[in-house]
Homo-oligomer: A and B are copies of this chain.
Amino acid sequence: MSQEVLLLPGDGIGPEVTAQAARVLDWMIDHADLDLELSEALVGGAAIEATGEPLPDATLKAAREADAILLGAVGGPQWDSLPMAQRPEKGLLGLRAELDLFANLRPAILYPELADASSLKAEIVAGLDILIVRELTGGIYFGQPRGVEERNGVRTGFNTYVYSEPEIERVGRVAFETAMKRGKKLCSVDKANVLEVTVLWREVMTRLAAEYPEVELSHMYVDNAAMQLVRNPKQFDVIVTGNMFGDILSDCAAMLTGSIGMLPSASLDVNGKGMYEPVHGSAPDIAGTDQANPLATLLSVAMMLRHSLGQIDAADRLERAVQSVLAADHRTGDIAATGETVIGTQAMGDAVIAAL
């Protein structure tokens, strides 16, 4: 039986980069004996325009039935004034919550070919390879109560940062398991000197450490973690943290590499089913102009092949193709140094397919 892959192009540059992913997957179906069935559905602003809702029932149903999901990007200025519940982002947040994709893996890797793109000094970032495990279905993103209301005649906004022990434990296990497969160093980031919810977080991580004696666990306050990422990012191997801190730190870590157009991510449920997406956003300013870098999306496809579809060989092959394309100096605008020839989204897709 075929495995089903659902494509969710979304908004901005999402459709362009997803189109390159579809080409690569089609190539693999034809030439690498992959038994995949691709389908497509609406999410985010694109879904709002077509149906009035950021996450239509049909999309959610297709996502539940798929073996893996590839998402482009959601959001754009034209929807920024909508009430929160009707914004494109709700489509993304709804998918994460409904599919229980609690473990978000965000690698920040510096490609040697692109070392110059970083705003940090070469010796600080050369060889950088860290992985952030971000909790994705809890914390302040989903906590209740939330809203804006009058309290004694004063308008007041409020959100709730909440984690239960099992929520912390399951993402903690993913982080320890991931660290076991890498450098066996795990840094848990919290604000346990101020926030009670992260005192519980630290306690659970400390308890889990007993089950993974080979992993060296450390704890760091989030403000210090933001400093240390800038000062000396190579001190980290795997970082685990909650949803909000993970949002901030993973973007900071991604930017250390100077090439967020290169970085994939995976959001996994307890069975390893996942949604895969490039770390970059919808970049409305360059949407539709064939300027976007599709490599983050293609590397997300590689993560999908590896983690959700069990196609390790195909994943390796695709990652090697991306590396050889970089080695051959193919560059979209975001990763081109001054004087280098810039190619477009489609041409970059061609280059990867040729390299396959």
Task: Give residues in A with beta carbon < 8 Å to B.
Answer: 75, 84, 87, 89, 93, 119-121, 124, 140-141, 143, 146-148, 151, 154-166, 191, 193-201, 222-224, 226-227, 229-232, 244-245, 247-252, 254-256, 258, 260
Which residues of B have CB within 8 Å of A161? Answer: 140, 158-161
A230-B196 contact, Cβ under 8 Å, with A154-B165, A248-B223: no
A260's contact among B164, B191, B227, by CB below 8 Å, is which?
A: B227
CA–CA, A250 to B224, complex, Å? 10
When the two chains form their complex, are residues A159 and B226 in contact, meaning their CB atoms are under 8 A apart?
Answer: no
CA–CA, A64 to B52, complex, Å? 56
Which residue, A121, A200, A226, A254, has most C-beta atoms of chain B within 10 A?
A: A226
Identical copies in the complex: 2
Dominant secondary structure at the A interface:
helix
When the two chains form their complex, are residues A226 and B251 in contact, meaning their CB atoms are under 8 A apart?
Answer: yes
Which residues of B have CB within 8 Å of A247? Answer: 191, 222-223
Residue on B nearest A165 in the bound complex, by CB: B155
Query: How far apart are A151's CB and chain B's nearest CB, in angstroms?
Result: 7
Residue on B nearest A125 in the bound complex, by CB: B119
Which residues of B have CB within 8 Å of A141? Answer: 194
CA–CA, A121 to B158, complex, Å? 40
Which residues of B have CB within 8 Å of A147? Answer: 196
When the two chains form their complex, are residues B165 and A143 in contact, meaning their CB atoms are under 8 A apart?
Answer: no
Which residues of B have CB within 8 Å of A159? Answer: 160-162, 195-197
A193-B89 contact, Cβ under 8 Å, with A154-B166, A157-B201: yes
CA–CA, A151 to B158, complex, Å? 21
CA–CA, A165 to B158, complex, Å? 11
A252's contact among B119, B157, B230, by CB below 8 Å, is which?
A: B230
When the two chains form their complex, are residues A197 and B252 in contact, meaning their CB atoms are under 8 A apart?
Answer: no
CA–CA, A88 to B200, complex, Å? 19
CA–CA, A64 to B38, complex, Å? 68
Which residue, A141, A250, A251, has most C-beta atoms of chain B within 10 A?
A: A251
